[in-house]
Amino acid sequence: MQKEIIVIIGGPGTGKSSIINSLVTQGYCCYPEISREVTLEAQKQGIEQLFLEDPLLFSQMLLDGRIKQFENALSETHRFVFIDRGIPDVVAYLDYIGDSYPEHFDLACRQNKYNKIFILPPWEEIYESDSERYENFEQAKTIYKHLTETYQKYGYTLIEVPKDSVDNRILYILDKI
């Protein structure tokens, strides 16, 4: 049995978490987005928006968490493991804000390779801001562009998921794997 580690990416507010949550209810092995967890942990320590206050520390914490997710996915007994955002997302966001980063960020993207990448396009009708999502829709479109360029730079072919109901988006993804 060939294991496939599948990443679902896209700018903020494109429906990634809804798809992951629905896949979980259908019995698939899924790993959630960890940036909210990192943000909430920092808020408990009195740092309101760690990404805005110390982007490199926030990104290092994300990188560590996403590498751990990748390593855990390799040891799963499930054939398919779905992950909400991948390691190259960290680099894409740092590029988006114009920050430089140490070489090991790039190395992590090259060493930990996923089988398939599904990308969700910006979708204004479902976009919502909340306490952990500070970007507006225009910024979300720019982030989408950075994500696309970053994953392609690391040799991935992106599979764009059409704007549709969560169920139909999942059927599309499952059909492509």
Long-range CB pairs of 104-113, under 8 A, 24+ apart, other chains included: 105/59, 105/63, 108/63, 108/67, 109/150, 109/154, 110/154, 112/67, 112/70, 112/87
Which range, 97-101, 135-139, 164-168, is most confident?
164-168
pLDDT at 132 over 60: no
Q: How many residues does the chain have?
A: 177
Rounded-to-integer distance, Cα 54 and Cα 150, Å: 22
pLDDT at 133 over 60: no
pTM: 0.91
Where does the chain show beta strands of DSSP type E?
Answer: 4-10, 29-31, 80-84, 116-120, 158-160
Average pLDDT over residues 121-146: 79
Which range, 4-18, 103-117, 131-145, is most confident?
103-117
pLDDT in tens, 23-59: 999 999 999 999 878 888 888 888 887 877 888 999 9
In 45-136, where does DSSP find H-type helix? 50-53, 55-74, 87-97, 103-111
Q: Three-state DSSP class for 136?
A: coil
Domains of the chain: 4-176 (3.40.50.300)
Rounded-to-integer distance, Cα 87 and Cα 92, Å: 9
pLDDT in tens, 7-24: 999 988 899 999 999 999
Q: What is the DSSP letter of 123?
A: -
